[in-house]
């Protein structure tokens, strides 16, 4: 696919997007983003192997989820989606929603923090990394950032804060600003789903019912933003006004597609996440019920044994 080097070395597409061109690999200065994603995957797999060597079984579904999460990150950052995302609102919104919702959800289902704490060494020079992780997770800042009110505000506020203010256009003037924004989207998603799933030793933990509320509340706000985008009579952001004439792309039609993408990603993944948390809640109640039943059985056995001793003329056991 023909590309033109621009924006400090970032490859910008010159042909209109197709399914083939969208997912053609893109190697330029923006490749730092997928490089970090690949590094995270390598470290995760090394952690799983380390546990396996110690005879500790790590759930395979977590490894699969984390791997798929990284794959989705690569699909929208290591391909020409990155270049087209700088020029078309719909492609940019697809990129944003994949990172903030799909990638973040899959990554946190992999419980990466739990894996890190279990595999990082407790002694020696390398123990500093485990100590640093524990200190960060127990810090006041982490406790504040992981509070449901804060995570929801960041997750939803980024939609209104970036796209309905001049901030978005300022950041999109340079590839570094675009990467910073994408990293922020992924970060807010990780915070939101990390707290909702509760698989990791999260700084601010809440009950399953509150985690369900945390997932449901953003839905209407997502939908309202999507409707605002689709109903707008003029382009919302200046960046996407200048589409190459040869592409034959109507700016307002593209903006309508962007709104539909927000709507879709705000509904289906949320339903899936709610189902996961509800299933966790049911499983937790079942485990608690089994523990309670076992305690009752033990107490009943002790009571019957005590009655037997009394019937045999023995002294009662002093507890």
Burial class (CB in 10 A: 0-12, 13-18, 19+), 220: exposed
**Is the pLDDT at 151 greater than 80, yes or no?**
yes
- Residue 313 has phi, psi (to 5 degrees) of 85, 15
Residue 28 in tokens: 């330029």
Q: Do the beta carbons of residue 80 and residue 88 sit within 8 Å?
A: no
Q: What pLDDT, on a 0 to 100 scale, did the predictor assign at position 110?
A: 94
**At residue 285, does pLDDT exceed 50?**
no
Task: Give pLDDT, residue 68.
Answer: 97
* CB proximity list for 75: less than 8 A, separation 6 or greater: 23, 81, 98
How far, in Å, CA of 88 to CA of 94, rounded?
10
In this prediction the pTM is 0.82
Asked whether residue 103 carries a pLDDT value surpassing 80, the answer given is yes
Per-residue pLDDT band for 300 (boundaries 50, 70, 90) equals very low
Identify the weakest region by mean pLDDT among 15-29, 114-128, 232-246, 258-272.
258-272
- Tell me the C-alpha to C-alpha distance, in Å, between residue 252 and each of 12, 101, 162, 263: 22, 25, 19, 17
> Distance of CA 238 to CAs 2, 84, 104, 247, 251, Å?
25, 16, 28, 18, 11
């Amino acid at each position: 696919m023909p590309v033109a080097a621009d924006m400090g070395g970032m490859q910008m597409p010159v042909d209109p997007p197709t399914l083939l061109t969208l997912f053609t690999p893109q190697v330029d200065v923006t490749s730092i983003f997928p490089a970090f994603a690949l590094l995270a995957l390598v470290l995760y797999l090394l952690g799983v192997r380390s546990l396996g060597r110690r005879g500790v079984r790590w759930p395979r579904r977590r490894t699969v989820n984390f791997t798929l999460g990284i794959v989705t990150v690569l699909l929208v950052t290591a391909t020409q989606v990155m270049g087209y995302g700088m020029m078309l609102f719909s492609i940019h919104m697809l990129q944003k929603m994949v990172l903030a919702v799909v990638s973040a959800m899959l990554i946190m289902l992999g419980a990466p923090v739990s894996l890190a704490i279990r595999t990082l060494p407790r002694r020696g020079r390398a123990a500093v990394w485990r100590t640093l992780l524990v200190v960060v997770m127990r810090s006041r800042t982490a406790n504040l950032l992981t509070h449901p009110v804060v995570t929801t505000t960041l997750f939803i506020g980024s939609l209104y804060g970036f796209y309905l203010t001049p901030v978005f256009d300022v950041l999109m003037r340079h590839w570094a600003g675009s990467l910073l924004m994408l990293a922020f989207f992924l970060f807010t998603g990780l915070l939101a789903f990390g707290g909702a799933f509760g698989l990791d030793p999260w700084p601010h933990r809440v009950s399953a019912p509150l985690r369900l509320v945390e997932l449901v509340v953003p839905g209407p706000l997502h939908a309202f933003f999507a409707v605002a985008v689709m109903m707008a009579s003029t382009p919302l952001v200046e960046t996407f006004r200048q589409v190459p004439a040869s592409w034959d792309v109507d700016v307002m039609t593209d903006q309508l597609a962007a709104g539909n993408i927000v709507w879709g990603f705000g509904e289906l993944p949320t339903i899936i996440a709610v189902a996961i948390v509800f299933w966790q809640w049911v499983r937790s109640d079942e485990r608690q019920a089994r523990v309670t039943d076992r305690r009752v059985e033990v107490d009943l056995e002790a009571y019957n044994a005590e009655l037997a001793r009394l019937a045999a003329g023995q002294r009662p056991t002093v507890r």
